[in-house]
Amino acid sequence: ASASTPSEKATKGAGRSTTGTQSQQRSVNTLTPDLLAGPTYELMRGLCSSLTELEYHLEEVYKETTDQLDWVNPEGQQYPHNLLQPL
């Protein structure tokens, strides 16, 4: 019974976050775990079967994104592009 409750909430949460995403867009200079915990969490929550799996995927996304930015910008200068926009 408890297994069906989280998936129902996840579906509702995913629908809410999709509609409010456009109004919540902002400039992002640094990707942080807190930033991933918002819309990304809501999106991934419906796709993962457990909290442990969800946490793993969010950590991997964070590590890959920061590693990629460090590789492109090894001196640690401020990244000159809005990360929300295509180059």
Q: Note the pLDDT tens digit of each residue in 44-68.
A: 667 777 878 878 877 887 777 766 6
Please give the model's pTM, rounded to 2 decimal places.
Answer: 0.32
Confidence band (pLDDT; 50, 70, 90) for 1? very low
**Average pLDDT score over the chain:** 61
Residues with Cβ within 8 Å of residue 14, at least 6 apart in sequence: 42, 43, 45, 46
Residue 85 lies in a domain: no
What is the domain range of residue 54? 4-23+30-72
pLDDT of res. 21 = 42
Quick check: is 67 in a domain?
A: yes
Residue 68 lies inside a defined structural domain of this protein: yes
Residue 65 lies in a domain: yes
Q: How many distinct structural domains can be found in the chain?
A: 1
**62, part of any domain:** yes
Reference 17, options 46, 47, 38; nearest CA is 38
Q: What is the pLDDT at residue 10?
A: 41
